[in-house]
A and B are shown apart, each in its own frame.
Chain A
Amino acid sequence: MNKKTSTSAYLSSIENRLNEFFIMIAGLWIFTVQFFRYVFVPPYEVYEIRKHMNELGIKTLPIVSVTGFIIGLVLAMQTQPVLARFGAEAYLPGSVGISIVRELGPVITALIFAGRVSSGIGAELGSMRVTEQIDAMEVSAVDPFKYLVVTRIFACTFILPILTVYVIFIALAGAYIAVVLVQNMTIEYYTNAVLYSVEFGDAIPGVAKTFVFGYIVGLVGSYKGYTATNGTEGVGRASTTAVVVSSLMILIFDMILVKITLWLWPTF
């Protein structure tokens, strides 16, 4: 009897989670449709977008700087002995450069951005929802979706690529420090080796996909916060689930976008 009860409780909890999952997917889809419906319609809320871009960029800058530098440094330190095993140490700047530009720079920046920004947006909009600020906006005939959600998603979409380019340079600087520690290499030689190996075509898909990652971070954070319920508990949940969902979506979309890139440009 007890076993039967616990099985049915287990099945019902799976059913609830599946329900929540499909509701979230539908909600994200509706938010996407709404975003593209509103983003081209005036008023454009340029001041709000600029404010969010400044805030999000400045908020994330210290942590992405430190992380980018360390990632570049560690990657070079780890790669050097492997290349030495094959007598290919001369390829160190090139291989590290390609890894950073194509994959590590964009994905690491996006994941850190998700952790810092998605939770912040989730908490901010969630607390606006539970304290009736969103209702107050709606009742004063201002569309809260356009004012709060569209501006944040737009800002995230365009600030992340800028941060990514910055992180790529910081990570390459970190890698240079590691290279100097183990090899006697001048900065000119290192720069030339990186520029020789990393083509412009390597950077384009890498940076282009961060527009999608930025969009995901803004979308998930806004969705979780905007639809928050159950008071402060709901705000906390919105904030944490925003990070989990956006990080997971970034990795899934990274896989899809790499596959699409390879399909479109097989030599990439």
Chain B
Amino acid sequence: MVEINNLKKAFNSHIVLDDVSLSVEKGENLVVFGRSGTGKSVLLKCMVRLMEPDSGKIIIDGKDVLSLNIKELNELRKQIGFLFQSAALYDSMSVRQNLEFPLIRHFNFTPEEREQKVISVLEKVSLVEAIDKMPSELSGGMKKRIGLARSIITEPKLMLYDEPTTGLDPITSKEISYLILELQKSLNMTSVVVTHDLLCAEIIADRAIVLNEGKVQYQGSIPELTSSNDPFLKNFFSHEFIKENNQVN
């Protein structure tokens, strides 16, 4: 589903991604770990060309992302959902309008069909009662759920999550993680999840990679990585480190 080869991205002289290569199978959930500033979010943004990488290759669903023109890129983007760290709900629109936004622009649904879609996706995230609320009236966890609902309303093949549980309390964080897993299973999506939250990763991940110094330094299942004797991984997965990183972010 996703194949990334030798991806490089630098900001002036600061190299963020240095020869990153990875692949994600169809239906797989890949978790990307890494210290703050190691380019995890940059990696996600390069995948949808919100940022242009300096070199390398990104293949999504058989299409070479970096060689697509804007029309082709937008066609591909319709197949991809992106949950931003801040949920990025349009704050001048109600929840209903936020959810209808991609539907109005990309599909020819009747108003009734649109309403049905909105209700159905809100049911999936258990927030039907918030349909007419404005984003400013929602809590952090609710915003994340609505952001998730907006991302999946077009039934994308690939979901990209940028820190889906950051800033949430442990219970809400766990709920969001299970929700992501449930949606992934019911919609048969492929996911790439950037997170610092080990609990979230344990719930979601089929496989994980660890970015360090711009490279993919480790990969494997969560139990393999957490039980590794490698000093970096031992330090990285210690409870204190995770906690510290959650606080930083």
Q: Quick check: A141 and B88 within 8 Å, CB to CB?
A: no
Q: How far is the CA of A261 from the CA of B106 in the complex (A)?
A: 46
Q: Quick check: A142 and B88 within 8 Å, CB to CB?
A: no
A20 located at the interface, meaning its Cβ lies under 8 Å from any Cβ of chain B in the complex: no
Q: Quick check: B84 and A140 within 8 Å, CB to CB?
A: no
A115-128 vs B, Cβ < 8 Å mask (1 yes, 0 no): 00000000010011
Q: Quick check: B77 and A133 within 8 Å, CB to CB?
A: no
A138 located at the interface, meaning its Cβ lies under 8 Å from any Cβ of chain B in the complex: yes
Q: What residue of chain B has the Cβ atom nearest to residue A142's Cβ?
A: B105
Q: Quick check: B86 and A131 within 8 Å, CB to CB?
A: yes
B17-51 vs A, Cβ < 8 Å mask (1 yes, 0 no): 00000000000000000000000000001001010
Q: Which of B95-154 contact A (CB under 8 A)?
A: 101-102, 105-106, 150, 154
B90 located at the interface, meaning its Cβ lies under 8 Å from any Cβ of chain A in the complex: yes
B91 located at the interface, meaning its Cβ lies under 8 Å from any Cβ of chain A in the complex: yes
Are A135 and B77 CB-contacts (below 8 A) given A141-B106, A142-B105?
no
A83 located at the interface, meaning its Cβ lies under 8 Å from any Cβ of chain B in the complex: no
A136 located at the interface, meaning its Cβ lies under 8 Å from any Cβ of chain B in the complex: yes
How many chain B residues have a CB neighbour from A under 8 Å?
23
| Contacting residues, chain B, for A138 (C-beta < 8 A) | 50, 77
| Contacting residues, chain B, for A199 (C-beta < 8 A) | none
Q: How far is the CA of A143 from the CA of B106 in the complex (A)?
A: 12
A15 located at the interface, meaning its Cβ lies under 8 Å from any Cβ of chain B in the complex: no
A127-154 vs B, Cβ < 8 Å mask (1 yes, 0 no): 1100111011111111100000000000
Q: Which of B56-97 contact A (CB under 8 A)?
A: 74-75, 77-78, 80, 82, 84-86, 88-92
Nearest-CB distance from A86 to chain B (Å)? 56
Q: How far is the CA of A182 from the CA of B88 in the complex (A)?
A: 60
Q: How far is the CA of A131 from the CA of B74 in the complex (A)?
A: 22
Q: What residue of chain A has the Cβ atom nearest to residue B47's Cβ?
A: A139
| Contacting residues, chain B, for A139 (C-beta < 8 A) | 48, 50, 77, 80, 82
Q: Quick check: B86 and A142 within 8 Å, CB to CB?
A: no
Task: Known pairs A124-B92, A136-B88, A140-B82; list 6 more (Cβ under 8 Å).
Answer: A131-B86, A135-B50, A138-B50, A139-B48, A140-B101, A140-B105
> Can you report 24 A-B residue pairs in the complex whose CB atoms are below 8 A from each other?
A43-B105, A128-B90, A131-B86, A132-B88, A133-B88, A133-B89, A133-B90, A133-B91, A135-B45, A135-B50, A138-B50, A138-B77, A139-B48, A139-B77, A140-B77, A140-B101, A140-B105, A140-B154, A141-B74, A141-B75, A141-B78, A141-B106, A142-B101, A142-B102
Q: Which residues of B contact A (CB under 8 A)?
A: 45, 48, 50, 74-75, 77-78, 80, 82, 84-86, 88-92, 101-102, 105-106, 150, 154
Q: Which residues of A contact B (CB under 8 A)?
A: 43, 124, 127-128, 131-133, 135-143
